[in-house]
Amino acid sequence: MNERIHILMVAPWSAPKIVTIPNTLEVFQAIVGGLIQAVPLEANVDIICNEEGKLMRLPPNRRVGWDIIFGTFLVVGVSGENFDSLPDEKVAQYMDLFS
């Protein structure tokens, strides 16, 4: 598992940002503001969001499929059972999608 990962952070009403963060549960929880939930976007790419974002009345962020993600979320790569850096071609794809 990589100690630091290169990912996208998407806050409500903001353009996505490329960030490099420590690859720890505590950092993910701090960014999303609570318990995390991984939502698959495609093979080897997940969203990490607040599991209770709707219940906590976090601000609506982006529509993903048939649902809306509430609060800040992260777009990360997945390697086996671990979160990993988002591949460069996916960074461009999701920057465009969530802009």
pLDDT tens digits for range 3-62: 999 999 999 999 999 999 999 999 999 999 999 999 999 999 999 999 999 999 999 999
The answer to whether 17 and 9 are in contact (CB under 8 A) is yes
2 band by pLDDT with thresholds 50, 70 and 90: confident
* Amino acid 36: pLDDT: 97
| pTM of the entire predicted model | 0.96
Q: Which residues pair with 80 in a beta bridge?
A: none
The answer to whether 37 and 56 are in contact (CB under 8 A) is no
* Amino acid 28: pLDDT: 98
Average pLDDT over residues 66-88: 96
